Amino acid sequence: MQVTERHVAVWEGDEHKWKAGIGSVIRLAAAEAKLLRGSADGFDVLLVGYPGHLDLPAARRAARGKPVVFNPLVSLWDTWVSDRRRFAPQSPAARLLARIDRSAFRASDLVVADTEQNAAFLAELAGLPRDRFAVCPVGAEERVFHPPWKATESFLFVGKLIPLHGLETILAAARLVPDLRITVTGRGQLEALLETRPVNVEWIPWIDYEHLGTAYRASLCALGVFGTSPKAGRVIPNKVFQALACGTPVITADTPAARELLTPGESALLVPPGDAEALAAAMRDAAGDASLLARLADGGHRAYREHASEEVLGQRWRELLEGVA
């Protein structure tokens, strides 16, 4: 199978994409025009990746009748209404986001979700049969995220500080284990909570992507997500795959999605979502038991290799694309 990528850079180098204002519209329009001018015959399937919800009409035109596969990663409605709570459920903005979601999913011959839980949710949201949706995990870019893990003393959380991540739970747990060091990396909606963070929490607002693998490999243990929203129960975030790819032990919320990949006590420590005391106890166990950390590191990396490595996901994508061609 031959893959040809047609990509026009829009956001590279921008930490805060949302600040571009009207410039965002101009940059996106210019990029789409370049892609349409450069679309070529001779392909069998057109694949639209995240965040391509608004690109499906143009993709269908560019496909010229060939199958279109959409890998959305998220629902816009779920992200901005249910998870981040930027818009009320019955507001005009929420209704518009739901229509954009449904239109994008219905315009696709196949939608590829990241978990079984998310595939079922997206199918229900779009009012489409479940067999229009397939599953392929997110994985990680192995040139950046790879072993060997070399533990230091600090737990590491990397994220955009959105409600799904459960920053409140992480900070509450940190207060229960004042002798343990926790590093929080990232900026976002809830960063104001860090202004009153406990003294054992270090905040690093930004780490370049190319250096994230080094940060994971140098941490004692990686923290996943601990939010209590429905979306938090349906996803396995990038940070978990990236840590597993590095061979770094992981602590994350015990959710239906997490159990699609992880086995408690073997490939990760799983704690109830939103439970600071359980998270603190898991962190205490990890920090005090080198053999537990070694077992989690080995089991987590094995789960990654078997279910989410580049080789495994490459074969999965081949099967999906050949199935609609």
Examine the domain organization and report whether 164 and 301 are in the same domain.
yes
Q: Given a cut of 90, is residue 8 above it in pLDDT? A: no
Q: State the pLDDT at residue 55.
A: 86
Q: Given a cut of 70, is residue 254 above it in pLDDT? A: yes
Examine the domain organization and report whether 161 and 80 are in the same domain.
no
pLDDT one-digit tens code per residue, 237-251: 999 999 999 999 999
pLDDT one-digit tens code per residue, 107-166: 999 999 999 999 999 999 999 999 999 999 999 999 999 999 988 889 999 998 988 899
Examine the domain organization and report whether 52 and 100 are in the same domain.
yes
In which domain, by residue range, is 47 found?
39-139+310-324
Q: Given a cut of 90, is residue 48 above it in pLDDT? A: yes
Q: Which of 64-68, 215-219, 220-224, 257-261 has the lowest mean pLDDT?
A: 64-68
Side-chain-facing half-sphere of 272: CA atoms under 13 Å: 6
Side-chain-facing half-sphere of 228: CA atoms under 13 Å: 8
Examine the domain organization and report whether 199 and 61 are in the same domain.
no
Examine the domain organization and report whether 44 and 76 are in the same domain.
yes
Both tokens of 255, joined, read 């959710």
As a whole number, the mean pLDDT across the chain is: 90
Average pLDDT over residues 294-315: 97
Strand pairing partners for 253?
A: 271
Percent of the chain with pLDDT over 90: 75
Give Cα separations from 27 to 39, 111, 189, 225 (angstroms): 18, 26, 24, 32
Examine the domain organization and report whether 173 and 131 are in the same domain.
no
Q: State the pLDDT at residue 182.
A: 98
Average pLDDT over residues 31-47: 71
Q: State the pLDDT at residue 57.
A: 86
Secondary structure (DSSP) of 95-164 = HHHHHHHHHHHHT-SEEEESSHHHHHHHHHHHT--GGGEEE------TTTS-SPP---SEEEEES---GG
Both tokens of 306, joined, read 């078997």
Total domains in the fold of the chain: 2
For residue 266, being part of any structural domain is answered with yes
Q: State the pLDDT at residue 149.
A: 96
Sequence-distant (≥ 6) Cβ neighbours of residue 163 within 8 angstroms: 83, 84, 85, 189, 190, 227, 229
Q: Given a cut of 50, is residue 314 above it in pLDDT? A: yes
Q: State the pLDDT at residue 32.
A: 65
Q: Given a cut of 50, is residue 17 above it in pLDDT? A: no
Average pLDDT over residues 29-54: 75
Q: Nearest Cα to 161, choosing from 221, 230, 84, 86?
A: 84
Examine the domain organization and report whether 194 and 96 are in the same domain.
no
Find the CATH number of the domain harbouring 96.
Answer: 3.40.50.2000
Instruction: Of 11-15, 65-69, 71-75, 241-245, give the range with the top mean pLDDT.
Output: 241-245
Both tokens of 59, joined, read 């993709």
What's this model's pTM, rounded to 2 decimal places? 0.87
Examine the domain organization and report whether 60 and 196 are in the same domain.
no
Average pLDDT over residues 26-40: 63
Examine the domain organization and report whether 185 and 266 are in the same domain.
yes
Q: State the pLDDT at residue 18.
A: 45
